[in-house]
Amino acid sequence: MTMKDKETETGTETETETETDRLLEALKKKRQEKAVVHFFKDPFGFVRGNPVRLAYISAVIGACLILIIYLYGRAHEGWSGFVAPFDAYILAGIATFTPTALYLYIEDKRVRKANDEFPGLLRDLAQAKRAGLTLIDSVLLTSEGNYGILTEGLRTIAYQLTWGVPFEDALRMFAKRYPTNMIKRSVEIIIEGYRVGGDVGEILKIAAEDVNELRSLERKRASDMSPYVAICYITFGVFLLILLVLYKTLIPMMTEAAKQITGAGMGRATIVNVDAERMKMILFHCGIIQGICSGLVAGKLGEGKVIAGLKHALLLASGSFALFAILKLMPNFLQLHI
């Protein structure tokens, strides 16, 4: 091979590498654009694909709010406006965790809908298989029905089976698409029975009965625990009412008594040192803390998970924040009723 041929070959390889890099860069850019479009079209689907993204979004929201609060505090010395610095940071914290709570709430509703529709899907699939149809025909026939949120996933299984995808792989992809404990448990039962060569129709029937029993137990548990969740809300409301009475009666009475003692020259009594604003702030923080704790307890009692109480915690803490914000902006609020 001559020197000229080597140079030509080297130049060709360089051009090929450059073209490959250009294509990879274009593909990467296209994926980024697709991710942005997906986020605006279906934000919850975008987060569901990788829940870590939600942590990034919440962190950005929190950082922006804290920065705004800090800059506002620097520009307005004394915070004579709506809230004090610490109160503003509490508001920023509530706003930061709101996307997470909203996502968990929507995802929980999605899981419940999937679990509600799953027993009927298994029952119809078992009936079709026991009627003498092949497995593929049974799935194709059943996929024509309406099973709510599971309909699209069932039709995907039907397409996959017609394309030659193994039944086990199609079921695993279905369970990955709807990752509820009930569906994953049933899919494993069906796969194990299918592997050992059992009657698929009978296996599906057993799985449907198992799911029905589990759903019945879950409904009974939810029904039994719902009064305790209501108690958490009621006790928090009573606690807020007590704080309101203290805010509107006890603190003004102590402040007025301190003024009278000071004016009468009765010495340095302890009550003279009453700081009304500090006491109001303590009551406000008590309301926030009680709201967060009551919400987390409500989630644990109602759904068996502390993280499920995040939505309750944010709701109750927001209610407490709103009450004290109204009391600060409108000092005469409920004055005639206390």
Q: What is the pLDDT of residue 334?
A: 64
* pLDDT of res. 234: 95
The span from the CA of 237 to the CA of 316, in Å, is 9
Mean pLDDT per block of 10 residues along the chain (338 residues) reads: 50 59 67 59 59 70 75 59 61 80 84 87 86 82 87 87 86 86 86 79 84 86 90 94 89 78 56 71 89 92 87 92 84 59
Q: Would you say the pTM of this structure is higher than 0.75?
A: no
Q: What are the tens digits of pLDDT across the range 270-295?
A: 445 667 788 888 888 899 999 999 99
Query: 230: which residues sit within 8 A by CB, 6+ positions away?
Result: none
pLDDT for residue 178: 85
d(CA 209, CA 186): 10
At which residue do the structure tokens 């250009």 appear? Answer: 22
Give the separation between CA 211 and CA 118, rounded to whole angstroms: 8
Residue 32: per-residue pLDDT: 61
> Which is nearest to 282 in space by CA: 335, 318, 246, 332?
246
pLDDT tens, residue by residue, 167-218: 888 888 888 888 888 888 888 888 888 787 777 788 888 888 888 888 888 8
